[in-house]
Amino acid sequence: MKKFITYCLILISFVVKAQEKDKFLPQGNEKFADKNYVDAEADYRLSQAKFKKKSIASYNLGTTIYKQNQPAEAKYQFEKAIKDAKTKPEKHQAYHNIGNSLMKEKDYTNAIEAYKNALRNDPSDEETRYNYALAKKMLKDNPPPKDKNKDKDKDKNKDKNKDKDKKDDKKDPNKDKKDDKKDKGDNKDKDNKDGNDKKDKQDKGDGDKPQPKPSGASKQRIDNLLDAVNNEEKKVQQKVNAQKVQANPKKPEKDW
């Protein structure tokens, strides 16, 4: 009988936990609809902290941050949404918005890849297809800049070597013999240089690919966000204190 009661209590605890709903998400949605992005961000962050494996909170949070002109930080949240996403539509939307964030940063190469991933999850989305074509056009019209300093240094060294060779031709009567030795030395240096270049490329790996990092936020935005979070926590504490010790279970509502 005692075991039966224990099992019942465990079952009840699971049911109560399953019925626990995310009230911060709909609150954030309402504030987002009113374009109150700072307070919406606070609600989405509380939702994300309380329900860690739900991709919708991270996605909505990324969209809210994007609206506040913080594309790098928004991109970080979209990456998290992809990690927690369980369906292709969720991944499609997150990849699409990563592409938008990269376009805002003028990183057209990686924006193309993001839109490609979005289309892999939903090939029928015409908006993603349009943005993909636009990113390719922008990359064509704005190719990555070349390293001009490197070319200048190369030409400078080349001219310097030519001047040196001319002086050596006048001064050194045994030029042919020395040239043979010089050629051997140059070949050795070239081999060493090629080996070092290969090593440098291996060490770099994917290091040139930009990684998502949170961007710096303004002090005013941080202060407003902290105030919004503190207000939400106070409201929650007041509701908890006002509740009775034993509350009746309520029918869960949809989060979406």
What's the chain look like in SS3?
CHHHHHHHHHHHHHHHHHHCCCCHHHHHHHHHHCCCHHHHHHHHHHHHHHCCCCHHHHHHHHHHHHHCCCHHHHHHHHHHHHHHCCCHHHHHHHHHHHHHHHHHCCCHHHHHHHHHHHHHHCCCCHHHHHHHHHHHHHHHHCCCCCCHHHHHHHHHHHHHHHHHHHHHHHHCCCHHHHHHHHHHHHHHHHHHHHHHHHHHHHHHCCCCCCCCCCCCCCHHHHHHHHHHHHHHHHHHHHHHHHCCCCCCCCCCCCCC
**Arithmetic mean of pLDDT, 71-95:** 96
Per the rule left: phi > 0, alpha: psi between -120 and 50, beta: everything else, 107 is beta
- Asked whether residue 83 carries a pLDDT value surpassing 50, the answer given is yes
Per the rule left: phi > 0, alpha: psi between -120 and 50, beta: everything else, 136 is alpha
Residue 243 resides in a domain: no
pLDDT of residue 244: 47
Residue 87 resides in a domain: yes
Residue 186 resides in a domain: no
The 10s digit of each residue's pLDDT in 229-253 is 777 667 666 665 665 444 444 443 4
Confidence of residue 53 (pLDDT cuts 50, 70, 90): confident
Confidence of residue 189 (pLDDT cuts 50, 70, 90): low
Q: Name which residue leads in pLDDT, 203 or 170.
A: 170
Residue 146 resides in a domain: no
**Arithmetic mean of pLDDT, 200-220:** 44
Q: How many domains does the chain have?
A: 1
Domain enclosing residue 79, as ranges: 24-141
* CA 182 – CA 108 distance, rounded (Å): 46
The 10s digit of each residue's pLDDT in 55-74 is 999 999 999 999 999 999 99
The 10s digit of each residue's pLDDT in 139-155 is 999 998 876 666 566 66
CATH number of the domain where residue 108 is located: 1.25.40.10
* CA 47 – CA 34 distance, rounded (Å): 19
Residue 127 resides in a domain: yes
- Closest to 102 in 3D by CA, of 61, 128, 138, 71: 71
- Asked whether residue 7 carries a pLDDT value surpassing 80, the answer given is no
pLDDT of residue 254: 39
Residue 137 resides in a domain: yes
Residue 234 resides in a domain: no
- Asked whether residue 130 carries a pLDDT value surpassing 60, the answer given is yes
Confidence of residue 200 (pLDDT cuts 50, 70, 90): very low
- Closest to 37 in 3D by CA, of 15, 16, 61, 55: 61
Residue 7 resides in a domain: no
